[in-house]
């Protein structure tokens, strides 16, 4: 490989690393937010709708991360399963 191609690859790797980190950190943040909202849940409909909205956003983000190969398929399935079990235990 010549020098220019190597430099381009380094640039692309840095850019992709930033995007991948954004996906991973957002998934972690939403998971923590979901668990906090679940712990503070009262019997009000607003809280339930908010909780399900977070769940839907989290599922969507996990699916996008799998599609872009930021996380592996089984890891995404495990994360989604964990959230689903939390919903059942409400």
Structural fold of domain 3-88: Methane Monooxygenase Hydroxylase; Chain G, domain 1 (1.20.58)
Amino acid 40: pLDDT: 86
pLDDT band per the 50, 70, 90 thresholds, residue 1: confident
Name the nearest CA neighbour of 76 among 90, 60, 87: 60
Q: Where are the alpha helices (DSSP H) in the chain?
A: 3-39, 45-67, 73-88
Q: What is the pTM of this model?
A: 0.85
């Amino acid at each position: 490989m010549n020098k220019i191609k190597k430099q381009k690859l380094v640039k692309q790797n840095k850019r992709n690393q930033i995007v991948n980190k954004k996906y991973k950190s957002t998934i972690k943040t939403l998971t923590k937010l979901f668990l906090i909202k679940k712990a503070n849940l009262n019997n009000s409909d607003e809280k339930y709708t908010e909780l399900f909205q977070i769940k839907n956003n989290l599922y969507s983000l996990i699916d996008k991360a799998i599609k872009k190969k930021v996380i592996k398929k089984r890891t995404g399935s495990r994360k989604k399963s964990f959230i689903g079990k939390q919903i059942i235990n409400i």
